[in-house]
């Protein structure tokens, strides 16, 4: 019995010594100390041992068991330590590596300019509305006093979907759409994309943006128009900005004007920016034509109003001193990140 125990003990320790993985240790534990393990079966055969020898043999079995358990635990700790060290080595992080920057985009100059225009007019109580980019000829031209064969139609040659539907050449059709809804008074701006079959150059593009404005109420006069647009110019281009109205013709307003602002670069003395004149043309405007009011269901005897149209790109180019409109559409990140 003694030899048998010694053999089991030696065998077990040798196997533990040789094992290089935690799972193997477990197998050894089961093989020797488990319910059907070798040492356990020796313990079970104690009933064949003479009673007077039992304490001594029992002691020997316990010693063997303790020795095997102690070696198992030692080896388990050593293996675990080694595994942990390997893991740490594998997962080492180099904190000196440059971080991955997440590059967040930002607003396009057109968008920044639009937000500014909206802020100014919303501050004066205007509503921001939208109209369709694909528009009926009826709204784009007819209801704005531009009948078929009107010369103004030539100036705004555009892309026809069919004979009745066009890509809108201006945001002015939104005026007609809002007036037709019949809710008065009206105080709105309508920003949006417009289209003209223009060649691309530094100041032209077949697709650009406008902001339309419309006010309809009782007793609206040209002084309301002037006061409103002068205030807009001051907010947009600076406190000292002066405005000048030059007579012009638009079919849907009477009288009509173009508004210039004093050059905010030279203050009006004349520079490269304003081409020496001291003034920069900024928008078209006028008193809504009585015939337009009538066509849109508003009684021109009781109501009057003014309207204006600003080119959004023009504002962005001026405000950020960009000298070529094409830059706004090329989406060169090096250009766009400057604003
Ligand atoms: N729609 C005109 C254009 O594209 C701009 C304009 C002028 C709009 C006068 C208006 C206005 O509302 O009253 O040239």
Report the distance separating Cα 203 and Cα 337, nearest Å: 22
Does residue 229 line the site of ligand 1, with CB under 6 A?
no
pLDDT tens, residue by residue, 239-275:
999 999 999 999 999 999 999 999 988 989 999 888 8
Does residue 110 line the site of ligand 1, with CB under 6 A?
no
pLDDT tens, residue by residue, 10-41:
888 898 888 888 888 888 889 888 888 888 88
Ligand 1 pocket test target in 196, 204, 229, 309 with most atoms within 8 Å of CB: 309
Give the CA distances from residue 2 to residues 219, 302, 337, in Å, rounded to whole numbers and listed in that order: 122, 124, 87
Report the distance separating Cα 311 and Cα 250, nearest Å: 15
Query: Is there a contact between 307 and 211 (Cβ–Cβ < 8 Å)?
Result: no
Query: Is there a contact between 291 and 274 (Cβ–Cβ < 8 Å)?
Result: no
Choose from 99-103, 158-162, 187-191 the range with maximum mean pLDDT: 187-191
Does residue 285 line the site of ligand 1, with CB under 6 A?
yes
Q: Mean pLDDT over all residues of the chain? A: 92
pLDDT at 189: 98
3-state SS assignment for residue 289: coil
Report the distance separating Cα 121 and Cα 111, nearest Å: 15
Does residue 250 line the site of ligand 1, with CB under 6 A?
yes
- 109-336: CATH topology: BirA Bifunctional Protein; domain 2 (3.30.930)
Report the distance separating Cα 11 and Cα 105, nearest Å: 70
Report the distance separating Cα 212 and Cα 312, nearest Å: 10
Residue 154 has pLDDT above 90, yes or no: no
Query: Is there a contact between 309 and 172 (Cβ–Cβ < 8 Å)?
Result: yes
Report the distance separating Cα 252 and Cα 261, nearest Å: 23
pLDDT tens, residue by residue, 159-180:
999 999 999 999 999 999 999 9
Q: For ligand 1, atom 5, name the residue with the nearest CA.
A: 309
Report the distance separating Cα 283 and Cα 237, nearest Å: 14
> How far is ligand 1, taken at its centre, from the CA of residue 285, in Å?
6
Residue 223 has pLDDT above 90, yes or no: yes
Choose from 176-185, 201-210, 324-333 the range with maximum mean pLDDT: 176-185
**Which of 96-105, 272-281, 322-331 shows the lowest mean pLDDT across its residues?**
96-105
Residue 44 has pLDDT above 90, yes or no: no
Task: Give pTM, 2 decimals.
Answer: 0.72
Mean pLDDT over 62-76 rounds to 89
Exposure string of 59-70, with b = 16+ CB inside 10 Å and e = fewer, is ebbeebbeebee
Cβ count near 317 (within 10 Å)? 21
The residue extents of the domains of the chain are: 2-90, 109-336
> How far is ligand 1, taken at its centre, from the CA of residue 212, in Å?
7
> How far is ligand 1, taken at its centre, from the CA of residue 283, in Å?
8
pLDDT at 295: 97
């Amino acid at each position: 019995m003694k030899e048998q125990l010694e053999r089991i003990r030696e065998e077990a320790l040798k196997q533990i010594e040789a094992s290089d993985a935690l799972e193997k240790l477990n197998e050894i534990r089961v093989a020797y100390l488990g319910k059907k393990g070798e040492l356990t079966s020796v313990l079970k055969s104690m009933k064949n041992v003479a009673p007077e020898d039992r304490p001594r043999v029992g002691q020997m079995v316990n010693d063997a068991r303790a020795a095997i358990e102690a070696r198992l635990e030692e080896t388990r700790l050593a293996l675990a330590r080694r595994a942990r060290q390997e893991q740490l080595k594998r997962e080492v992080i180099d904190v000196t590596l440059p971080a991955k920057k997440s590059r967040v985009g930002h607003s396009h100059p057109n968008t920044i300019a639009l937000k500014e225009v909206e802020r100014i007019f919303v501050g004066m109580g205007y509503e921001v509305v939208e109209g369709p980019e694909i528009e009926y000829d009826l709204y784009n031209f007819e209801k704005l006093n531009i009948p078929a064969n009107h010369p103004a139609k030539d100036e705004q040659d555009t892309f026809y979907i069919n004979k009745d539907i066009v890509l809108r050449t201006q945001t002015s059709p939104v005026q007609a759409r809002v007036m037709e809804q019949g809710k008065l008074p009206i105080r709105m701006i309508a920003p949006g994309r417009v289209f003209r079959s223009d060649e691309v150059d530094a100041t032209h593009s077949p697709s650009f943006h406008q902001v339309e404005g419309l006010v309809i109420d009782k007793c609206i006069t040209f002084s309301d128009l002037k006061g409103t647009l002068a205030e807009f110019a001051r907010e947009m281009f600076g406190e000292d900005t002066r405005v000048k109205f030059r007579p012009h013709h638009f079919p849907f307003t009477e009288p009509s004007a173009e508004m210039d602002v004093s050059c905010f670069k030279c203050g009006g003395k004349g520079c490269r920016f304003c081409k020496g004149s001291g003034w920069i043309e900024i928008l078209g405007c006028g008193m809504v034509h009585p015939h337009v009011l009538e066509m849109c269901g508003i009684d021109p005897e009781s109501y009057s109003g003014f309207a204006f149209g600003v080119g959004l790109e023009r504002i962005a180019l001026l405000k950020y001193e960009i000298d070529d409109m094409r830059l706004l559409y090329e989406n060169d990140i090096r250009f766009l990140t400057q604003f």
